[in-house]
Amino acid sequence: MSTYINYDFDGKKIRIPKEEIEHNMKIPTVKTEEDAIWIYLEDNGYVDNEEQNELDRKAKENRITATIHQAKADIVKERKKVERKPDQTKDSLVNELAEYLQDIVQNVVIAKVGKLIEFDIGEEHFKLDLIRQRKPKK
């Protein structure tokens, strides 16, 4: 649970977390608690920091952030093509099922080798998906 310091700034009561002030006090150039509070006020937009505003303006002029983001966007990873390992059991089972279904239904198609059979019965379209279950881990 955070504890706060109430700070009066231009007639406004501002609650500043003590952790924030303690963190700012660890900065070598910060000598007093007042300096640490001032840093908090600048960081949270209560006070304008001219030096920081100038740095932001220069970054926008030079499009530094756009360049950084563009550099990340230019990197395109090539995906490896995953090759299916042959599974003789599933392949033969799907082929046998497709042959059997051709005598019973219409438009029998093996959509994915060793996995998916699609067919029609009247106006309805069906998919038959064969999934091998792994042995449970012990």
CB–CB of 109/118 below 8 Å? yes
d(CA 95, CA 75): 43
Provide the mean pLDDT of the chain: 84
d(CA 107, CA 52): 70
Q: Which residues contact 29 (CB under 8 A, 6 or more apart)?
A: 35
Q: Looking at the predicted structure, is the pLDDT value of residue 90 above 60?
A: yes
Q: Which long-range contacts (CB under 8 A, 24 or more apart) does 128-133 make?
A: 128/97, 128/101, 130/90, 130/93, 130/94, 130/97, 132/87, 132/89, 132/90
- Could you give phi then psi for residue 116, rounded to 5 degrees? -125, 130
Position with higher pLDDT, 59 vs 38: 38
Q: Looking at the predicted structure, is the pLDDT value of residue 66 above 70?
A: no
pLDDT in tens, 28-44: 888 888 888 888 888 88
Instruction: Quote the percentage of the chain above a pLDDT of 70.
Output: 88
- Per-residue confidence (pLDDT) for residue 68, from 0 to 100: 62
pLDDT band at 71 (very low <50, low <70, confident <90, very high): low
Kind and range of the H or E run holding 16: strand 12-17
